[in-house]
């Protein structure tokens, strides 16, 4: 995706079990003397696509006074864990060695960009079950309501203006009392309070762990267990790369619980319907991941095939070429080109060292967009370019790309093809596009969208982008290409219809804010 779209973070967990579960294998063999922490930076690097602002982990070690201890820093995983400095990296791993660990990579959909907002969040207490650390991935749609409810209680104070701290206080309240809490009941109490997306990894000073996925399953969450090694991560690719051969989805409304070194799968809330975020397959997830039984790569390839089936421009001349916007649109572009019988060529080269520009803060973002791509005139000059992008959110980058393709690449025609429907509404479940005013499509579609753009609207959008034509896929194409029932997808951002009460309430608030010219995230 060229647009500066922010992600919602990623989580991971590791545990060296007291009792083996099944046969051991390649993943288990990586662990030395029961210390799982050397694996955590590797796992986090495989979900680095989900956040580059900060990284951290909490480990449990019953042999040290600091039973659980947290390390976190601003930067990528390699930067935070000093992976390019072998001595400092080994020192971090040695200091935080343990039989269990949870980890997190962050982007700020809520809160500030400093170390205090980095996760995991650790809460100290003298009682071991009240001393815990957790990390979460998602966004609480009713965050503002839960914050007000908390502050109405006597002498409560919020340090950080983010939903992570609200979750921490809810976990603290659920673990109150003189007896060790039931972890399933603890998470059930959260599901009764929160509306939105939340995958949580939790570890306390007794060595108890849980990995939980919200009842609607907005965000992906995978787990695997091999011998004595348990692992969980936001994406399956991180577990496959550790050497696990059997990787499973954490089902919505369920949790993996580890107590007294033993593992069980428990349901904490009913899940009568699912609401998997379709954007995960289109853009966010690693192309090598499989989520809820559907391969990311094959989904993107089917989206490209559907673009080819819908193509209405002539493609039989020798000067036609399909060009992907690197990197997430490549599978769709290659598939579209294959089914059209047109060459797919990399007319845009991405600078691998700039990183995903949507991960960067506002300062310097436009300069980094210019640095991110280099057009190749030898591929583009004098040709009819079918420029394939996975989605079009704000269009700021697309306009800049089109200008460069014409001026520097000397492209004769540019036809933009989007492997996604128009984004007509905000997201309130963990993607940082929470206002109507920042979106490209709503100003053209003004409530009349029924799944397919009229030729007149598409032509006007194309003119404003500076391209010769613009085509999107439809909402119905999503379920077909992802091979997931439409009723099991969250399509709020392309339909304006959300799977939760607070999603629909926030859309009304976003529309009101747009009319009044108010800025700022809708859910804050």
Domain spans, the chain: 10-272, 295-516
Instruction: For domain 10-272, give the CATH number.
Output: 3.60.20.10
Distance of CA 24 to the CA centre of its chain: 31
Angle formed at CA 524 by CA 132 and CA 200, multiple of 5 degrees: 30
- Evaluate if residue 316 carries a pLDDT over 50: yes
Please state, in angstroms and rounded to a whole number, the distance separating the CA atoms of residues 251 and 274.
10
Average pLDDT, the chain: 91
What pLDDT is stored for residue 429 in this prediction? Answer: 94
Please list the active-site residues.
9
- Evaluate if residue 264 carries a pLDDT over 60: yes
Residue 359 pLDDT grade (very low, low, confident, very high; cuts 50, 70, 90): very low
What pLDDT is stored for residue 517 in this prediction? Answer: 76
What pLDDT is stored for residue 368 in this prediction? Answer: 63
pLDDT per residue over 372-427, tens digit each? Answer: 899 999 999 999 999 999 999 989 889 989 999 999 999 999 999 999 999 999 99
What pLDDT is stored for residue 515 in this prediction? Answer: 83
Q: Which CATH architecture group holds 295-516?
A: 3-Layer(aba) Sandwich (3.40)
Residue 363 pLDDT grade (very low, low, confident, very high; cuts 50, 70, 90): very low
Place of tokens 């128009």: 422
- Evaluate if residue 191 carries a pLDDT over 60: yes
What pLDDT is stored for residue 356 in this prediction? Answer: 47
- Evaluate if residue 177 carries a pLDDT over 90: no
- Evaluate if residue 307 carries a pLDDT over 80: yes
- Evaluate if residue 360 carries a pLDDT over 50: no
What pLDDT is stored for residue 364 in this prediction? Answer: 45
Please state, in angstroms and rounded to a whole number, the distance separating the CA atoms of residues 62 and 386.
59
E strand map for 369-493: 373-375, 384-389, 413-418, 469-472, 489-490
In sequence order, what are the residues at sequence separation of 6 or more whose Cβ sits closer than 8 angstroms to the Cβ of residue 273?
216, 487, 488, 499
Paired with 389 in beta bridges are 418
Handedness of CA 442, 443, 447, 448 (dihedral sign): negative
- Evaluate if residue 6 carries a pLDDT over 80: no
Comparing 192 with 115, which gets the higher pLDDT?
192
Cβ–Cβ under 8 Å, residues 70 and 56: yes
pLDDT per residue over 448-488, tens digit each? Answer: 566 678 899 999 999 999 999 999 999 999 999 999 999 99
What pLDDT is stored for residue 439 in this prediction? Answer: 92
Round the CA-based radius of gyration of the chain to a whole number and report it.
23
Q: Burial of 407 by CB count in 10 Å (0-12 exposed, 13-18 middle, 19+ buried)? A: exposed
Residue (of 393, 389, 522, 368) closest to 5 by Cα position = 393
Q: Burial of 440 by CB count in 10 Å (0-12 exposed, 13-18 middle, 19+ buried)? A: buried
What pLDDT is stored for residue 450 in this prediction? Answer: 64
What pLDDT is stored for residue 111 in this prediction? Answer: 47
Question: Among residues of the chain, what percentage have pLDDT more than 90?
Answer: 76
What pLDDT is stored for residue 156 in this prediction? Answer: 78
What pLDDT is stored for residue 358 in this prediction? Answer: 45
Alpha carbons within 13 angstroms on the beta-carbon side of residue 29 total: 6
What pLDDT is stored for residue 351 in this prediction? Answer: 84
């Amino acid at each position: 995706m060229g647009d500066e779209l922010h992600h919602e973070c990623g989580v991971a967990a590791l545990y060296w079990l007291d009792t083996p579960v099944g046969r051991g294998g390649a993943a288990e063999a990586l662990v030395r003397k029961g210390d799982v922490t050397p694996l955590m930076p590797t796992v986090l690097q495989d979900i680095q696509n989900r956040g580059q602002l900060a990284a951290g982990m909490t480990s449990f070690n019953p042999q040290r006074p600091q039973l659980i201890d947290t390390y976190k820093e601003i930067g990528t995983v390699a930067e935070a864990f000093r992976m390019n400095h072998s001595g400092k990296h080994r020192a971090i791993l040695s200091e935080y060695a343990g039989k269990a660990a949870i980890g997190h990579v962050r982007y700020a959909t809520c809160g500030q960009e400093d170390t205090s907002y980095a996760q995991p969040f650790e809460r100290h207490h003298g009682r071991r079950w009240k001393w815990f650390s957790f990390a979460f991935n998602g966004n609480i749609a009713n965050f503002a309501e839960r914050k007000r409810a908390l502050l109405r209680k006597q002498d409560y104070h919020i340090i950080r203006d983010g939903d992570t701290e609200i979750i921490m206080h809810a976990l603290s309240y659920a673990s109150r009392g003189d007896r060790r809490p039931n972890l399933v009941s603890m998470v059930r109490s959260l599901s009764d309070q929160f509306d939105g997306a939340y995958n949580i990894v939790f570890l306390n000073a007794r060595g108890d762990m849980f990995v939980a996925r919200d009842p609607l399953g907005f965000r992906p969450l995978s787990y695997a267990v091999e011998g004595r090694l348990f692992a969980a991560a936001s994406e399956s690719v991180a577990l496959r790369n550790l050497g696990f051969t059997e990787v499973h989805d954490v089902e919505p409304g369920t949790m993996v619980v580890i107590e007294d070194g033993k593992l069980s799968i428990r349901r904490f809330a009913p899940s009568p319907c699912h609401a998997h975020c379709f954007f995960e397959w289109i853009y966010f997830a690693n192309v090598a991941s499989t989520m809820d039984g559907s391969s990311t790569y094959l989904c993107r390839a089917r989206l490209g095939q559907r673009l080819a089936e819908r193509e209405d421009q002539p493609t039989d001349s020798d000067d036609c070429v399909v060009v992907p916007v690197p990197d997430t649109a490549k599978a769709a572009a290659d598939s579209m080109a294959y089914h059209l019988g047109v060459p797919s060529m990399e007319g845009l080269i991405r600078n691998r060292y700039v990183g995903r520009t949507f991960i960067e803060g506002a300062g310097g973002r436009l300069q980094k967009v210019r640095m991110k791509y280099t057009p190749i005139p030898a591929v583009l000059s004098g040709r009819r370019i079918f420029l394939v992008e996975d989605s079009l959110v704000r269009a700021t980058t697309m306009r800049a790309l089109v200008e460069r393709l014409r001026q520097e690449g000397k492209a004769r025609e540019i036809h933009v093809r989007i492997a996604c429907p128009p984004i007509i509404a905000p997201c309130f479940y963990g993607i940082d596009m929470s206002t109507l005013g920042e979106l490209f499509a709503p100003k053209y579609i003004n409530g009349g969208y029924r799944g397919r753009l009229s030729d007149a609207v598409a032509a006007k959008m194309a003119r404003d982008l500076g391209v010769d034509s613009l085509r999107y896929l439809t909402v119905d194409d999503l379920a077909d290409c992802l091979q997931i029932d439409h009723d099991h997808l969250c399509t709020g951002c392309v339909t304006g219809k959300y799977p939760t009460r607070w999603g629909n309430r926030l859309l009304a608030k976003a529309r009101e804010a747009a009319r009044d010219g108010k800025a700022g995230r809708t859910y804050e």
